[in-house]
Amino acid sequence: MNRKKLIPVYLLFTILIAACSNNAVLDQSAATDLVSDYLKANPVYETQQLELGEVKFKSKNDKAALASYKDLQDKGFVVMELQEQKKKFLSKDSAYVYQISLTDKSKPYVLKQEQNKATLKVIEYAQDEDKPVSVDKSSNKTAKVTVMLKKVKNAFTVFYKDQNTGSNFITKTYKLKYKKESGWAVTGE
């Protein structure tokens, strides 16, 4: 075969291989989009249980909790009906019994509701658009993407017991895998 004919065949073969392998390219923009879509389908949040039904408060010990419930009532998330009020003889401490129930406004935050308690989203995490994701591509078919998630507070945050008080964000790493048929996808944390 002639050498001049071999060069175009070699070039065509090289371009074809390069075009096929470009599907496995993962840039920062594509990784950001993949993680964003994954977070929409699998939101990250913190939960807390909230007492419902008949709840007893003591004016000294439960002052903060009672104030939190009243704040929720003022915002329209719960309804509180005073059932009983007792003043202890010769004491500054009083006891209050309220019937507490959730309103329709609280539905987006309720994950599980039982007779006397509900599990609620108290902090949700959203991707910080100002901070770029970090892509660590270990091979042509796997990668790790680290993303910064900022805390988004809601009305029920007053009950949140923050374990990570040093910051208003967390970092999370997601694993990505490349499949020839479907491309890159998030496979988990």
Residuewise pLDDT in 10s, the chain (189 residues): 555 554 544 444 444 444 444 457 888 888 889 999 999 999 999 999 999 999 999 888 888 899 999 999 999 999 999 998 887 766 677 888 999 999 999 999 999 999 899 999 999 999 988 888 888 887 888 999 999 999 999 999 988 887 766 788 889 999 999 988 888 999 877
Between the two ends of the chain, the Cα-to-Cα distance in Å is 54
Closest alpha carbon to 88 in 67, 64, 61: 61
- The pTM of the full predicted model, rounded to 2 decimals, is 0.74
**C-alpha angle 99-94-79 in degrees, rounded to nearest 5:** 20
